[in-house]
A and B are shown apart, each in its own frame.
Chain A
Amino acid sequence: MATTAEKMERDQKLEGIGCSRKRKEDPRFIQGKGNYVDDINLPGTLFSAVVRSPYAHARIKSINKAKALALPGVRAVLTADDLKPLKLHWMPTLAGDVQAVLADEKVCFQYQEVAVVIADNRYIAADGVDLVEVEYEPLPALVDPHKAMTADAPIIREDLIGKDEAGQGKRKHNNHIFTWEVGDKAGTDKVFSGAEVTVKQAMLNPRVHPCPLETCGCVASFDKVRGDLTVYITSQAPHIVRTVVSLLSGLPESKIRVISPDIGGGFGNKVGVYPGYVTAIVASIVLGRPVKWIESRIENLSTTAFARDYHMVGELAADKNGRIKALRVNVLADHGAFNSHAQPTKWPAGLFSICTGSYDIPTAYVKVDGVYTNKAPGGVAYRCSFRVTEAVHLIERMIDILAQKLNIDKAEIRLRNFIKPEQFPYKSALGWEYDSGNYPAALKKVMEAVDYAGLRKEQAEKRKRGELMGIGICTFTEIVGAGPSKACDVLGVGMFDSCEIRVHPTGSAIARMGTISTGQAHETTYAQIIATELGLPSEVIQVEEGDTDTAPYGLGTYGSRSTPVGGAATANAARKIRDKARKIAAHLLEVSPDDLDWEIDRFKVKGVPGQEKTMKEIAWAAYNNVPAGMEMGLEAVEYYDPPNFTYPFGAYLCVLDIDRYTGETKVRRFYALDDCGTRINPMIIEGQIHGGLTEAYAVAMGQLIAFDADGNHLSNSLMDYFVPTAVETPKWETDFTVTPSPHHPLGAKGVAESPHVGGIPCFTNAVNDAFSHLGVTQIEMPHTAYNVWKTIHELGVDKRA
């Protein structure tokens, strides 16, 4: 019999689930040996640069490319007129709309793509851009979404005039995209009309940008002889790109190879298909040479997809004890000039209806109206599942506002309203089935860790002295892992994901997935899952993603779906292999498969010590000695269609101090407890939490994509757009509880987005809390020192005695 110590040693050697194994990717990243799209240098590569509109709204009167074409080294200049014969001047979006690839007679946002210059090198391409002469007739710009549906609003999309729908149901105005409703309107209205207490608050999740370190780009290479196309691309969803390129170009998918190499951060920005990609591909097909397009930072911030821009009005109905009876939400969503919202096809507001949050709210109603404005298109999930940040923001602000009105402590009101542990699986008023959770335990653990009562006491004393101290709480529930194909698809493809594992004769393995890491260390964590499931050391398990020629079809990585969907596919594929291995082991040991027990890395005959076969031995046998009638080899593929989403949750608490004269905010403490079910690599989880909290800090305290009244972009360089460095970033304290998902093969949930989704409301709740004793109910983000100072000054808090 193996002793416990021996078993532990064998288990540790695998470095499987639960091990804080170091990231396999890091040696190459920290040595500058990563292989990003811009590192791809094919012989004879040409470079593409984009001519962009200086106006937010204008008619194009003429484009003169003669001077650019005359520049030595310029190979081609493409405009909408050149793409028209190919029917490629417009392209479909993920949201059922169309988007101009190159502006067709009209530009609808500043920096919109008007023409591309293809040249021998980047410098000539950039010089060529300056030589393309475009004559514009400026039109009035529509910047404020609240004015989008007025009678005299300028019409942005002339191509849609007379069309009463734009891919998402009926529209009621030329600038209207859709109305989306969910919940029980009549029932909700009835609860509100008879409620003991109601609160109502308008709030804004302002337009921000994911701003990944690496901007978007691609290298398209069409081989005229072989007739096939290879595209290296910064994509979080390479298989979807292949399908889209096939549909647009008419090339069969088998002639298209899309490769996402190392990606320097995605955060939703790299989900969409952008004109820069399409024009590089067209140019390569036309010229028969590789064409590279790499976005500048300015282009990234001003054209490729933004996030949020949700103008929300929330209402809660409750009794006098703060027990919530109903939620009503009206949202105006600014989608920019084209509806290229990132979403499962049928969800024009993504998963926003998770906005009942962690609370047992019996009745709810949500209405979202999407409108066009003269701004860049997008609406991606910036480190969150589709629109979940907005949903959590809404409910977490509203419950604070209700607490303030009723003078109930902000932690106490949450404890009174939480869905109780025994209520899971819990069906929400807006139709979601929460898989598992233990919300009171999480919040109580945090309150104890930070001495919550002591902090409130300190705050009360400081308030007497006129000092500003804020305590923010956020007890969020996320919905991640899109998603069950009965509910979710992208362009008609169900949102499953996949894994294919091959075990080699000597007991090492290669695994390929339909997801793609953008920095999350999939090579490390997927190998850990396989290590535990197959009893092979994770060190010898090679994980490959991102090459559509080798990886099985998958929907990619966003919305924290890799572990919930890809991870489940990996576990199931490994289990198929283990099932086959059991049969081989039984054959080798001359027993029935039922007589075998699995133990860490081997099958053992029940009750017969020493009669065992390790997975390494079984792998060898799979290639020379299998039971009669069995195929040789040891491999499996799994396409996993999740039965449900996973619902990770957490309890966050932020303590901050505000200088009453300058508005400068110092985060004194940030305590983040996350529950993502089974933890595969705790070190990587902690890293994810640190990253997500830092991006939450960025959004809450500084990030904003702003425009002037003419639609000029005011935030498209890092001089204006806030990206926190180690200098600004607060210290993070992390903690966890483990409530496994009952439907996931490993009990795991997504995690990378929780800190972003939960962090933003926590910061803004803390800033608002600092002023709540002065009657303030809503101070909008970003909480820059200047914005905070304005509030201070209006309230007269900075008056010196």
Chain B
Amino acid sequence: MQVKLEKTFPIAAPAANAWRLLQDIKAVAECMPGAQITEQTDSTHFKGQVKMRVGPASATFNGELEVKSLDPNEKKMEMLGKGTDTSGASAATMNLIAQVRDSGDGRCELIGVSDVSVSGKMANFGGRMMIQVSDQILKQFGDNFATRVIAMGEGAAAEQAAAAVAQQPKELNALALIWHALLGFFKNLFGGGKSQGG
């Protein structure tokens, strides 16, 4: 089961800061809700974990991350993540190409293109929700990334952002994600959000 997603996140901070953060793989990984880098095996290879909670049940995904390329001119990074839950019942891989684009006026945007493929139980049951859930995960990633970039700056906005970073949940709450995904699904179904103003 494969899904390709493209998303653009506007960031109210300079492109240089965003690029600096993007090269810090540990920090980037931590922008993924529930994700954590546990070990760096060499300059481009990392080991990590994603903790996931669905109601009372929790699962840990162990994974490997490889930085495939870093292009300072294009401010572009490509990485490949592979993970399986500890029992081996589900597995996922994600190829992510992330690029920072300067929008001028001290602002920028992060463009993410990801190919996600899942197998095992997640593919069996998550299939019909996968686009929505992946979309939500990416959205949270984008929000967290933007917050961290802003926190690198100075002033009240940066202080507020830094506080938000500290409060970031340490687990991926799948039920909440599914709830948001469902909301998104129904909004799309009834054309809400987009057309109400018109």
Contacts and interface: CB of A to CB of B under 8 A. Distances in A.
Interface stretch (A125-133, A627-635, A684-692): A125-133
Contacts of A132: 87-88
B59 to A, nearest CB: 8
A129 B119 contact: no
B116 interface: no
A55 interface: yes
Q: 5 nearest interchain CB pairs?
A: A54-B120, A712-B123, A130-B87, A134-B88, A708-B1
B119 A110 contact: yes
B153 interface: no
B189 interface: no
Nearest to A711: B119
B17 interface: no
B124 A717 contact: yes
B156 interface: no
Contacts of B4: none
Given A55-B91, A133-B86, A710 B121 contact: no
A54 B119 contact: yes
A713 interface: yes
A710 B87 contact: no
A297 B1 CA distance: 22
A736 to B, nearest CB: 43
Contact of B91 (A51, A52, A54, A129): A54
Interface in A132-174: 132-136, 138
A787 interface: no
Given A54-B119, A54-B120, A717-B125, A712 B88 contact: no
Given A54-B90, A55-B91, A714-B1, 20 more contacts: A51-B87, A53-B88, A54-B88, A54-B89, A54-B91, A54-B119, A133-B87, A133-B88, A134-B88, A136-B88, A136-B91, A138-B119, A708-B1, A708-B127, A710-B119, A712-B1, A714-B123, A714-B124, A716-B124, A719-B125
Interface of A: 51-56, 110, 129-136, 138, 298, 302, 708-710, 712-714, 716-717, 719
30 contacts: A51-B87, A53-B88, A54-B84, A54-B88, A54-B89, A54-B91, A54-B121, A55-B91, A56-B119, A110-B119, A110-B120, A131-B87, A133-B87, A133-B88, A134-B88, A136-B88, A136-B91, A138-B91, A138-B119, A708-B2, A710-B1, A710-B2, A710-B119, A710-B123, A712-B119, A712-B120, A712-B127, A714-B127, A717-B124, A717-B125
Contacts of A56: 119
B140 interface: no
Given A54-B84, A55-B119, A710-B119, A130 B1 contact: no
Interface in B53-93: 84, 86-91
Nearest to A136: B88
B86 A130 contact: yes
A133 B120 CA distance: 15
A130 B89 contact: yes
Interface in B1-25: 1-2
A131 B120 CA distance: 16
Contacts of B90: 54
Nearest to A709: B2
Nearest to A55: B119
Contacts of A54: 84, 88-91, 119-121
Nearest to A134: B88
A637 to B, nearest CB: 49
